[in-house]
Amino acid sequence: MMEILNIYFLSICLLIIFSFPFTNIYLSNIIRIKKINIFEIYLLNTIFTTSILLILSFFQINLKSLFFFILTCSLINLFFIEYGKFKKDLIFFFFFFLFIVIFFTKIANYPALEWDGFSHWIYKVKNFYDGYSYKNFSNIPNHHEYPPLGSYLWAFVWKGSLVNNEYTGRVIYLYFYFLSLFLIISKTPFNLIVKILIIALLTIITFDVFLFSGYQEPLNFSLMAICLFLFIKIKDYNKLTIFHLFLILACNLIAWTKSEGVFLILFLYVFVFFDSEINKKSKAITFFVLMFIFFLKKLIDVNIYDSNLSAAFPSWFTFVTIENFFNYSNFLHRLSFLIANTSMSFLKYPIFIFFLIFMLFSFFNRKFSKFEFLNFAYFLFTLIAINMIFLLDSSDSWKFKAQVGLDRIFYSTSSIYLFFIIKSLITIFKKKQGKEGWNL
């Protein structure tokens, strides 16, 4: 019974914690952002609080005190919210809570950690749970060069739990996952019932319980969707808004989730680089910001973590020699293997099938707008880049790595297609985007 209570307790705690610090009153009166829905406020709060937690992961802090301190501040903050403005969103928001509870119950019933979870990540989680900082990663077993964000969030929620087991902390991944889905859907012109049905469909094609068993991919998946949401939100790149700052913070969070996070941000850059509406100056600024994030991470890794320069780059990766790469038979052998595994990944995650069907649909209907083009460019870019990682890997175990890693990297990048799928649904149902919808 305690566990059931704990599921509701933690789900409510997360919704309270991430309602802090920005309220609708603060955003409209001080930052002057009007027409912002409840999920967008949650988005800003989540990015802000998570960024603060990322900074705190470098220091030895009592997580339990931190959890209840933030919870108390958030509870006080509840008095400063104008609830009347959220009347429209409240039922949809209730579904957000419901989805978290349903899937958290699923995890609680089968609280298994899969391979990466119990061989790498759990030690990082326990490091924070036991009160140590990121600096102590060098003293724990296995892959101590991995970034700290996901494990810190996991440990943070676990500390606030009424039940002492690691699975309770994994609800944070569910929170991020459903926040990204609800955020995207909240800006569509569909009615409540259709919105819920679409969420259910998206969950069927993107939720993989295996990845929620200790992997960091769901976090990357959600953060990628959040970043694209912010990219779209910033329509005018010449005018600086608060969303620019949050975009940088969100990109930074991706870089601190997994070692390949920096590459994921570069993939996202397709949406800036190929968009003709964005001027060169803005493109350059965005690029330099991304480079800054990359070097900042490297600098922190080298100075805080240890003096090993390879700390910021996956230590398991070494490049193949040029002669070997251009060896015809070797290249063909690798390519055929990777094509087979890529196809399997697409079958494993139906979001790719949906994406390709809708892409064909747009192509044959001659509705290939700028957004369709950007999505297609992103798809090709990620397809080539991800396969190149394994084409260029010199180690003997490249096949094994491709078998266990390829599908997960594809999954991390797949949340971008959610926007395209939903846009296609809007087109199919001939719905007009309202003023509050996205400008795709």
Partner 1 sequence: MNYLKNTETSMILKNKSKKKIFLLTLAIVIVISHQNNFFKNTFNLSRESLDHRLSKVYGNCDRHGYGFISTVRSRFHIDENILILNGDTDLKSYALSKKSVWFNYQTNKAINENKLILINYPKENKITKNKKIDFSFKGKNFNGFKLIYKKNNCYFLIK
Closest separation in Å from C-beta 366 to partner 1: 35
Q: Identify which of 298, 117, 68, 137 has the alpha carbon closest to the alpha carbon of residue 217.
A: 117
Quick one: 84 or 141, whose CB is closer to partner 1? Answer: 141
Cα-based torsion angle of the residue sequence 304, 310, 311, 313 in order, rounded to the nearest 10 degrees = 130
Quick one: 182 or 229, whose CB is closer to partner 1? Answer: 182
Closest separation in Å from C-beta 118 to partner 1: 5
Biggest CA–CA distance in the chain, Å, is 68
Binding residues for partner 1, total number by CB under 8 A: 37
Query: Does 197 sit near partner 1 (CB under 8 A)?
Result: yes
Closest separation in Å from C-beta 281 to partner 1: 47
Q: Which stretch binds partner 1 (CB under 8 A): 21-29, 42-50, 193-201, 379-387?
A: 193-201
Closest separation in Å from C-beta 91 to partner 1: 7
Do residues 172 and 14 make contact, with C-beta atoms less than 8 angstroms apart?
Answer: yes
Closest separation in Å from C-beta 199 to partner 1: 9
Query: Does 1 sit near partner 1 (CB under 8 A)?
Result: yes
Distance between CA atoms of residues 44 and 18, nearest Å: 9
Locate all alpha helices (DSSP H) within 141-279, ordered by sequence. 149-159, 171-186, 192-206, 217-233, 242-255, 261-268, 270-273
Kind plus residue range of the DSSP H or E element containing 215: none
Query: Does 136 sit near partner 1 (CB under 8 A)?
Result: yes
Q: Which stretch binds partner 1 (CB under 8 A): 55-63, 135-143, 375-383, 424-432?
A: 135-143
Quick one: 194 or 383, whose CB is closer to partner 1? Answer: 194
Closest separation in Å from C-beta 77 to partner 1: 29
- Residue from 127, 259, 286, 375 touching partner 1 (CB under 8 A): that is 127
Quick one: 159 or 423, whose CB is closer to partner 1? Answer: 159
Quick one: 207 or 358, whose CB is closer to partner 1? Answer: 207
Computed on alpha carbons and rounded to an integer, the radius of gyration of the chain in Å comes to: 21
Quick one: 187 or 195, whose CB is closer to partner 1? Answer: 195
Report helix, strand or coil for 226.
Answer: helix
Report helix, strand or coil for 393.
Answer: strand
Footprint of partner 1 on residues 145-164 (CB under 8 A)? 163
Closest separation in Å from C-beta 106 to partner 1: 6
Q: Which residues have C-beta within 8 Å of that of residue 401, sequence separation ≥ 6?
A: 316, 390, 393, 395
Q: Identify which of 77, 61, 72, 69 has the alpha carbon closest to the alpha carbon of residue 20.
A: 77
Closest separation in Å from C-beta 396 to partner 1: 15
* Secondary structure (H, E, C), 67-101: HHHHHHHHHHHHHHCCHHHHHHHHHHHHHHHHHHH
Distance between CA atoms of residues 149 and 25, nearest Å: 30
Distance between CA atoms of residues 162 and 164, nearest Å: 7
- Residue from 29, 165, 324, 397 touching partner 1 (CB under 8 A): that is 165
Q: Which stretch binds partner 1 (CB under 8 A): 1-9, 252-260, 376-384, 414-422?
A: 1-9
Quick one: 135 or 298, whose CB is closer to partner 1? Answer: 135
Quick one: 86 or 274, whose CB is closer to partner 1? Answer: 86
Contact string 85-114 vs partner 1 (x = CB under 8 A): ------x---x--xx--xx-xx-xxxxx--
Query: Does 119 sit near partner 1 (CB under 8 A)?
Result: yes
Closest separation in Å from C-beta 359 to partner 1: 28
Q: Which residues have C-beta within 8 Å of that of residue 422, sequence separation ≥ 6?
A: 184, 185, 188, 198
Q: Identify which of 209, 189, 395, 102 has the alpha carbon closest to the alpha carbon of residue 217.
A: 209
Query: Does 238 sit near partner 1 (CB under 8 A)?
Result: no
Q: Which stretch binds partner 1 (CB under 8 A): 128-136, 237-245, 395-403, 417-425?
A: 128-136
Query: What does DSSP assign to residue 153?
Result: H
- Residue from 68, 118, 269, 381 touching partner 1 (CB under 8 A): that is 118
Report helix, strand or coil for 434.
Answer: coil
Distance between CA atoms of residues 42 and 183, nearest Å: 9
Cis, bond preceding 21 (omega within 30 deg of 0): yes
Kind plus residue range of the DSSP H or E element containing 208: none
Question: Which residues face 393 on adjacent strands?
Answer: 319
Closest separation in Å from C-beta 139 to partner 1: 6
Footprint of partner 1 on residues 332-391 (CB under 8 A)? none
Residues lying near partner 1 in the complex (CB under 8 A) are found at 1, 3-4, 7, 91, 95, 98-99, 102-103, 105-106, 108-112, 118-119, 122-123, 126-127, 129-130, 132, 136, 139-141, 163, 165, 192-193, 196-197, 200
